[in-house]
Amino acid sequence: MATAIPDHKIDITNDVCPMTFVRTRLKLETMTPGQVLEVTLGAGEPLKNVPRSVTEMGDEVVELAEITDTPGTYRLIIRKGS
């Protein structure tokens, strides 16, 4: 399956919880339903908490994968819900 082309991108690799989710949520709030956000995040708490939190808020996690040339860094693709 092809990866959705992101409408917006943010990098939260230098942020710590809870700011990782706060920055992601604030960006999603500026988007319209159906738009796609690509989030670059690190391992640990952000990797566990951000995907769970956006799903709980009604958005869809389309993909979550480690960036192969940057071990410990992940790409999270989110489709904004209604």
* CATH number of the domain bearing residue 63: 3.30.110.40
How many angstroms separate the CA atoms of 61 and 77, rounded?
6
What is the per-residue pLDDT for 17? Answer: 86
The verdict on residue 35 lying in a domain is yes
pTM for the model:
0.93
Whether 17 is a known active-site residue: answer yes
The verdict on residue 3 lying in a domain is no
The catalytic residue among 4, 8, 13, 17 is: 17
The verdict on residue 2 lying in a domain is no
The 10s digit of each residue's pLDDT in 22-31 is 999 999 999 9
**Residue 40 in this model has a pLDDT that exceeds 90:** yes
What is the per-residue pLDDT for 3? Answer: 66
Q: Total domain count for the chain? A: 1
Instruction: Return the exposure string of 12-44: e unless at least 16 CB atoms fall within 10 Å of the residue's CB, then b.
Output: bbebeeeebbebbeebbeebeeeebbbbebbee
Q: Which of 38, 31, 44 is nearest to 9 (CA)?
A: 38
For 25, the domain range is 8-79
Residue 44 gets which letter from DSSP? S
The verdict on residue 47 lying in a domain is yes
Instruction: Specify the length of the chain in residues.
Output: 82
What is the per-residue pLDDT for 11? Answer: 98
